[in-house]
Amino acid sequence: MDVTSTALPAQREHAPDSGPAAHGTTRLPHVPGFAPRTADGAAATAKRRGKELRQDLPRSAHATFLPAPDRPDAAGAVEESNRGRVPELTPIRIGRMAAGPFAFLRGSAGLMAHDLTGSPVTGIAAQICGDAHAANFGLYGDARGGLVIDLNDFDETVVGPWEWDLKRLATSLVLAGREAGADEDTCRAAAFDTAGAYRRTMRLLARLPALDAWNAIADEELVSHTDARDLIGTLERVSAKARNNTSARFAARSTEAIPATEGGGRRFVDAPPVLRRVPDAEAAAVAASLGPYLETVSEDRLPLLARYAIHDVAFRVVGTGSVGTRSYVVLLLDHRGEPLVLQVKEARPSALLPHLKAVGFTETDTGHEGRRVVLGQKRMQVVSDILLGWTTVDGRPFQVRQFRNRKGSVDPAALSADQFDDYGRMTGALLARAHAHSADPRLIAGYCGKTEELDEAIASFAVAYADRTTADHADLLSAIRTGRIAAERGV
């Protein structure tokens, strides 16, 4: 009899002889949210299903990149992605994307998703970053003041094909390598090593007990696990800088004391176009939104936030892909006048969302884009910001998080030639760890296998798509020169 869905008969619930000793294994109902009970060998079943997927989709098929006939031109795709952004800021976004092919890739997650709909997918769903390029990994602070290294940008996060993240990461390593002056063999090797580290890490996680796999690969073990010794010096320098990248340091540079005759405290200082004060009504709306935000934060954090008073709000321009979205910094001060700065950042629908249906994925509606970002982040990271939450300002969804929470990042385009393969292996392992929190690592590991077939395919795709991105970047530059699209550089 299948005991996974058999309820205990009511008349036998309290029978004295109904325990395990009298009748063997206790027959318990299946509880939704838990896996159904299976016979011994269940662990092999998920891996076998992954292997079977290779029959329908050989791993070598991932080398294919075939642009769709309806593919928009680069300038048109960028213009479309500017819809809904603050119009006066979009030239800054274009100027940043024009800096080089790697910068163009960073601002064109939607265009790459459009292109990936023409590539084969395994159908294995995971919570994916959606924008897992090499510059979106970095350091940030945990609750105890330590530093964690992980993915750190989740604006585009969705449930989707794990391959999309891996292909975007591998492509970004090729582009970053080219920008740094590395030769083509080095760039391709970095993409190859990225996929290889992802595959080997997923196989490692698949062999562990579920709880051990969930918590596996502590950061201090990551360099040795991926043989990334050439990165040690770079990571130490980035870590030292990250420890000083705090709210207090930002506030010291970006705020001024208010005279006691005007009420005291501190306020932001205009530094256009990156930081600017906002009208009182706009500032009041942002400040008021922190009330509903408190309802989304873990309750044990509320006494901490209750020790801070809201003092000021300013608008601050954010990174390449997000330029033009509405983003505010909120200055909080405790009883000693020590600052905590929160970022209240607009959460737009994921750029991947329109393309998921084309490959058989349907995104679950979370009811709020800020909630989507926060839940996706928590599903993928080992440790997340303790003050993550979401809110709504003037009808628009926002995410809320600490600003300058000891964040630090490696600039992949500034690495030396002998560091690219190390960085690829490290980020590939981190990506596997993140995906394994939502997708069964046994299933993905079964598909990826022991050989380097997938690694070769991903590397081939990465080089081909890097070439396509380089051509797209050239098209964008042409559109800027002809005046079709405005760009403001150097901001």
| Token pair for 227 | 């043989």
pLDDT of residue 179: 96
pLDDT of residue 92: 92
What is the phi/psi pair of residue 82, to 5°? -80, -10
Q: Which residue type is seen at 412?
A: P
Q: How do the domains of the chain map onto residue ranges? A: 47-242+411-481, 247-402
pLDDT of residue 12: 37
Cα separation, 197 vs 461, whole angstroms: 17
Cα separation, 222 vs 246, whole angstroms: 25
Cα separation, 166 vs 105, whole angstroms: 14
pLDDT of residue 2: 36
Mean pLDDT of the 107-128 span: 95
User: Rounded mean pLDDT of the chain?
Assistant: 90
pLDDT tier at 437, thresholds 50, 70, 90: very high
pLDDT tier at 7, thresholds 50, 70, 90: very low
Ranking 25-39, 238-252, 307-321, 388-402 by mean pLDDT, the lowest is: 25-39
For 155-192, write each residue's pLDDT tens digit. Answer: 999 999 999 999 999 999 999 999 999 999 999 999 99
Q: Please check the confidence at residue 385 and state whether its pLDDT lies above 60.
A: yes
pLDDT tier at 230, thresholds 50, 70, 90: confident
Q: Please check the confidence at residue 360 and state whether its pLDDT lies above 60.
A: yes
pLDDT of residue 22: 47
For 86-113, write each residue's pLDDT tens digit. Answer: 988 999 999 999 999 999 999 999 999 9
pLDDT of residue 34: 87
pLDDT tier at 220, thresholds 50, 70, 90: low
pLDDT of residue 320: 64
Please count the residues of the chain: 491
pLDDT of residue 27: 79
Q: Above pLDDT 70, what percent of the chain?
A: 91
Ranking 32-46, 94-108, 200-214, 317-331 by mean pLDDT, the lowest is: 32-46
Q: Please check the confidence at residue 474 and state whether its pLDDT lies above 60.
A: yes
Q: Above pLDDT 90, what percent of the chain?
A: 74
For 33-86, write each residue's pLDDT tens digit. Answer: 888 877 655 656 899 999 999 999 999 999 999 888 889 999 999 999 999 899
Q: Secondary structure of the chain in the HEC alphabet? A: CCHHHCCCCHHHCCCCCCCHHHHCCCCCCCCCCCCCCCCCCHHHHHHHHHHHHHHHCCHHHHHCCCCCCCCCCHHHHHHHHCCCCCHHHHHHHHHHHCCCHHHHHHCCHHHHHHHHCCCCCCCCEEEECCCCCHHHEEEEECCCCCEEEEECCCCCCEEEEHHHHHHHHHHHHHHHHHHCCCCHHHHHHHHHHHHHHHHHHHHHHHHCCHHHHHCCCCHHHHHHHCCCHHHHHHHHHHHHHHHCCCHHHHHHHHEEECCHHHCCCEEECCECCCEEECCHHHHHHHHHHHHHHHCCCCHHHHHHHCCCEEEEEEEECCCHHHCCCCEEEEEEECCCCCEEEEEEEECCCCCCHHHHHHHCCCCCCCCCHHHHHHHHHHHHCCCCCCCCEEEEECCEEEEEEECCCCCECCCHHHCCHHHHHHHHHHHHHHHHHHHCCCCCHHHHHHHHCCCCHHHHHHHHHHHHHHHHHHHHHHHHHHHHHCCCCCCCCCC
Ranking 209-218, 250-259, 462-471 by mean pLDDT, the lowest is: 209-218
For 9-23, write each residue's pLDDT tens digit. Answer: 333 334 444 444 445
Map tokens 């992949």 to a residue: 412
pLDDT of residue 4: 33
